[in-house]
Amino acid sequence: MNKFRPFLEAPCGKIAGFYENNQALFLGIPYAKPPVGDLRWRNPVEMPVFRDVFFADKYGGTCPQPKSTWIEIEEDTQSEDCLYLNIRASRNACGSLPVAVHIHGGGYTIGTGANEDEDGRNFVEQGMIFVTINYRLGPYGFLYLDDIDKSCQGSGCIGILDQIAALRWVKKNIAAFGGNPDEVTILGCSAGGGSVAALMVVEQAKGLFNKAIAQSGSLRLTKSVEKANAVAQTFMKYTGVANLSEMRALPHEKLFKAYSRTLKKYGFTAKETAFAPVRDNVVIPEEPFLALEHGAAKGVKFLTGTAKDEMNGFKHISRITKILSFRIFKWIVPQDVSEYFGRIDDVVADFYNRNYKFLSKPDRLFKAATAGVFLLPQLHMAIAQSKYAPVYYYRFDWGGKDGALHGSESPFVFGRYDADVKPDREYRKPPQTVVNAMHNAWAAFIKTGTPATGTTINWELFDDTNYATMLIDEKCELKHDPDKHERVFWDNLN
């Protein structure tokens, strides 16, 4: 073995990686058997020990997905054979370093663990091991087949079971890479944050991590069995076959065609709503918020929060959204999409029209949607978990003319000083103070369980008496219950 190539022996077998800028990289390690053929729509199956040296020098396949303006993924890198993870460590990593496992976002439909903007290199420089993963997306990972074939219990959460398989692999093997298997933080944004939230209440995930970071993703981002079954029936109709065996035998091209048709049927934001983890009571509890309230994630330290103006980023997805108001929304938006936005009715419209007259009509609607989809669910998760473990809450406030948009904090989390952040569709280099505050806070939490922005401000623990919230901007500020006006209104709705 070349002495200039990082080489190690782990329980999974012998692995060789490569060096890049004083860091050791191990890319494209399979954590489960390829989910193809008869393993399509089956729970992940553990890989056997490598017989020979596994050369981990290139990324594995990314789950097939529709084209998106959010991320570009080459078609020739997409494959149903996608259950791979990547590890990045310092060149001389040794001992028992804290481990971060990043779960990518993308509405459970797009995304990859091979995104170089989120590869964790700056976290590694701060003394940890960083892991990124791929998991099955769309119908490959979240097609609810339980009612179609009784052998498929848990099928609506296969993507979550993939994540658990990856975490089990980390638990078993990461010590060989210099990581501490008992100090694992899971983190993600959007659907990645929703995955983190789901893992907190899934019984099979217990003991696989002790800290969790959910950015703008909550247990709200799950589907009921009823709605998931409707999507599955539509998908199966588009495949043109009669049973699961025939679907497993379909060539991928026909499967993907049915996938594309299914997405088109479910409204203009269907890519966010057609496929998501299912509250099936097999993997995810039927009442996941209740499970959290009853201590499902007891002892897991939790960092969570949202961007201030989450939904404003969706104003640009079509010309229609630029003229939306509460009234127009009720007329034109499909029911399955409107429910994704949370409760949007006359009572909500009256509240926002009266209290936010300084905003345009579309902005009032998107502010209500921000509260319904992100703010309230995230707060409710923080309240529930604060009874069982330390919880820290943030609100990301930095942004352009459209505000602090959904996902706009991610480059800051990864310490990207040269990030091409486009909050108002124009290039704007992020202030170094904001990048430092966000990245340092996340790194500190992963290493110690307590976030620190690098300023003298004390980040207080969050609970339902103080609602302590760190506002992250060019100047960070700790405030108690900064969204009280909206919070009280929504809490009193039901």
pLDDT (0 to 100) of residue 402: 83
The DSSP bridge partners found for residue 470 are 394, 478
Separation between Cα atoms, residue 411 and residue 420, nearest integer Å: 8
Tokens standing for 50? 């490598």
* pLDDT class of 431 with cuts at 50, 70, 90: confident
Q: What are 303-324's pLDDT values in tens digits? A: 999 999 998 877 766 555 666 7
Catalytic entry in 310, 338, 408, 409: 310
* Span of 252-256, 266-270, 464-468 with lowest mean pLDDT: 266-270
pLDDT (0 to 100) of residue 4: 59
Q: What are 212-225's pLDDT values in tens digits? A: 999 999 998 899 99
* Span of 178-192, 287-301, 306-320, 418-432 with lowest mean pLDDT: 418-432
Active site residue 245: no
Which single residue is written with the structure tokens 């923080």?
382
Residue that wins the pLDDT comparison between 231 and 326:
231
Catalytic entry in 104, 380, 406, 439: 406
Mean pLDDT computed over every residue of the chain: 90
Catalytic entry in 102, 104, 183, 190: 190
Separation between Cα atoms, residue 404 and residue 392, nearest integer Å: 20
Is the per-residue pLDDT at 270 higher than 50? no
Active site residue 190: yes
Average pLDDT over residues 285-290: 96
pLDDT (0 to 100) of residue 342: 66
pLDDT (0 to 100) of residue 423: 46
Average pLDDT over residues 215-244: 93
Is the CB of residue 326 less than 8 Å from the CB of residue 348? yes
**pLDDT exceeding 70 applies to what percent of the chain?**
89
* pLDDT class of 335 with cuts at 50, 70, 90: low
The DSSP code sequence of 426-453 is S-BPPPHHHHHHHHHHHHHHHHHSS---
Maximum CA extent, the chain: 71
Separation between Cα atoms, residue 116 and residue 135, nearest integer Å: 17
Residue 142 makes CB contacts below 8 A (sequence gap 6+) with 108, 136, 156, 157, 158, 159, 223, 228, 275, 276, 277, 278
Residue that wins the pLDDT comparison between 7 and 13:
13
Is the per-residue pLDDT at 334 higher than 80? no
Separation between Cα atoms, residue 213 and residue 22, nearest integer Å: 27
Average pLDDT over residues 461-476: 96
* pLDDT class of 330 with cuts at 50, 70, 90: low
* pLDDT class of 17 with cuts at 50, 70, 90: very high
pLDDT (0 to 100) of residue 419: 57
Domains belonging to the chain, first-starting first, are 1-297 (3.40.50.1820), 308-390+398-494 (3.40.50.1820)
* Span of 114-128, 189-203, 400-414 with lowest mean pLDDT: 400-414
Prediction pTM value: 0.94
Q: What are 94-127's pLDDT values in tens digits? A: 779 999 999 999 999 999 999 999 999 999 999 9
Average pLDDT over residues 58-69: 92
Is the per-residue pLDDT at 162 higher than 60? yes
Is the per-residue pLDDT at 331 higher than 70? no
Is the per-residue pLDDT at 40 higher than 60? yes
